[in-house]
Amino acid sequence: MGRVKLEETVTANIVGCARCHGPGHDQLEFQAFLHPVVEDGGLVLTHWATCPITKEPILMALMIKEDE
């Protein structure tokens, strides 16, 4: 797979926030990283948002579905 242009912002609902351990947050706006984070297992974290309670970052891996 070649390089994919990511959306600059993505709006998503979070269920079970890992930062505040709350039930979730609605309509968080995630910003694209200029340089995505690649975890040891190969997962690419492409976007981030701030938890409205703790102000800590929430990271997201935007998955690209390829046509079959």
pLDDT exceeds 80 at position 4: no
pTM of the model: 0.79
Quick check: 58 and 49 in contact, CB under 8 A?
yes
pLDDT single digits (tens) 21-39: 999 999 999 999 999 999 9
pLDDT single digits (tens) 51-65: 999 999 999 998 766
- pLDDT at res. 1: 44
pLDDT exceeds 70 at position 44: yes
Where is pLDDT greater, at 66 or 17? 17
Do the bridges between strand 57-60 and strand 44-50 make them parallel or antiparallel, or are there none, so unpaired?
antiparallel
